């Protein structure tokens, strides 16, 4: 007997289900303490095999000891939540892949040592300055060339550099920070360390995306769901809209479309990295000094699926979510599968006291439990 989904596919000409490998989030913020307990369950319910955890905490993960303590907190939170679920809950298999937060002081020996001990899978680089900073990026790199000895060691040991490439110099316009950083920072690093694996995090500028797509070395990019769905106008929709403010900020519509084209055409240099970044509602909604970050973890898979569906590119969804360059983080393609069904799902307004991206709206796809 034919299934209802197969009949609907024949009648409507639309796929009703998509089955892909369990996915891997290549860029995730979990915070710590009560916030960690609030937001981690969202990623676990989304059936991720793991995630690259960003260490931009008030005390950043810039040492083996700090990163190890943070990893332990995440694992304890994971097990506490999973113990309260039905037997066989898939979240037990969630593998947090930690990052070393790069500072001007950290030594090549510390970076390599933490990698060899399995404490972290890569090095996260924020450029610190008066302008262009994101949450707790002020601990980051002020003297980029002074970090070249670290990059040399990373290249030797094949340790990925995960870069928040935004120029922080005061002469750079907010909407050009990524493109300028490509020229001033990324290109020189690639030139000097051609075998160093580099991931451009949360790419937002079409010029940066074109550079990644046209490269033939070890340069990749993560892409968020929200940057595939909104442009800079959304930050001003109905007045100043802090719910759509993040770093890097969304760019012109032409940039969104260029990036979306690279992604939905199946370019293997691009992969899912949500940059889901929770903030307490008070910090997110304040009139002055609004926190930068968009929380998409509760429905990340459905958001990405909607994008690929809109572009008639569902055949490329699986590699983007689950396969593209996951090996550089020490992960294998999952042998387990997950299914997304064409079934309406309403997005919650909040998780705890955290505003959810597109909260209250309805998506056409639902991840099957």
Active site residue 171: no
In eight-state DSSP terms, residue 244 is: G
* Cβ partners under 8 Å of residue 82, min gap 6: 44, 89, 91, 92
What phi and psi, each to the nearest 5 degrees, are found at residue 180?
A: -65, -40
Q: Exactly one of 275, 280, 309, 335 is catalytic; which is it?
A: 275
> What burial class does residue 107 get, using C-beta atoms within 10 Å of its C-beta: 0-12 exposed, 13-18 middle, 19+ buried?
exposed
Q: Which residue has the tokens 């304040």?
A: 286
Q: Which residue has the tokens 């066989």?
A: 88
Nearest CA to 321 among 275, 271, 367?
Answer: 271
Query: Other CB atoms closer than 10 Å to residue 364's CB: what's the count?
Result: 15
In eight-state DSSP terms, residue 136 is: T
Q: How far apart are CA 59 and CA 55, in angstroms?
A: 9
Extract the runs of DSSP E, i.e. beta strands, from the chain. Answer: 17-21, 24-28, 50-53, 95-101, 122-126, 161-164, 198-200, 219-223, 270-272, 337-341, 345-346, 350-351, 354-355, 362-363, 366-367
* Cβ partners under 8 Å of residue 212, min gap 6: 200, 203, 219, 220, 221, 262, 269, 270
The residues annotated with a catalytic role in the active site are 275
């Amino acid at each position: 007997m034919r299934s209802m989904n197969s009949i609907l596919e024949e009648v409507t000409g639309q796929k009703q289900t998509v089955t892909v490998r369990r996915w891997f989030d290549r860029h995730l913020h979990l915070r710590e303490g009560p916030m960690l307990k609030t937001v981690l369950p969202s990623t676990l319910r989304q059936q991720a095999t793991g995630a690259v955890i960003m260490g931009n905490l008030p005390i950043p993960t810039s040492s083996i000891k700090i990163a190890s303590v943070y990893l332990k907190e995440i694992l304890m939170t994971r097990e506490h939540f999973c113990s309260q679920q039905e037997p066989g809950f898939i979240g037990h298999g969630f593998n947090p892949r930690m990052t070393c937060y790069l500072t001007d002081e950290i030594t090549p020996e510390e970076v390599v040592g933490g990698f060899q001990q399995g404490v972290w899978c890569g090095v996260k680089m924020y450029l610190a300055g008066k302008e262009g900073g994101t949450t707790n990026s002020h601990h980051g790199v002020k003297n980029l060339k002074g970090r070249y000895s670290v990059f040399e060691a990373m290249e030797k040991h094949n340790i990925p550099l995960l870069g928040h490439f935004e120029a922080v110099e005061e002469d750079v316009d907010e909407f050009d920070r990524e493109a300028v950083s490509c020229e001033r920072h990324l290109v020189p690093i690639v030139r000097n360390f051609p075998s160093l694996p580099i991931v451009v995090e949360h790419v937002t500028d079409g010029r940066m995306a074109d550079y990644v797509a046209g490269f033939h070395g070890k340069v990749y990019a993560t892409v968020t769901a929200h940057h595939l769905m909104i442009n800079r106008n959304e930050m001003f929709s109905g007045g100043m809209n802090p719910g759509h403010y993040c770093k890097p900020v969304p760019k012109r519509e032409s940039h969104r479309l260029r990036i979306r084209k690279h992604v939905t055409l199946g370019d293997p240099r691009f992969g899912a990295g949500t940059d889901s970044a929770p903030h307490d509602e008070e910090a997110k909604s304040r009139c002055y000094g609004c926190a930068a970050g968009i929380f998409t973890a509760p429905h990340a898979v459905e958001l990405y699926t909607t994008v690929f569906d809109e572009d008639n590119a569902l055949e490329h969804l699986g590699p983007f979510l689950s396969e593209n360059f996951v090996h550089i983080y020490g992960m294998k393609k999952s042998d387990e599968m997950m299914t997304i069904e064409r079934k309406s799902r309403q997005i919650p307004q909040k998780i705890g006291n955290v505003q959810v991206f597109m909260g209250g709206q309805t998506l056409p796809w639902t991840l099957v439990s």
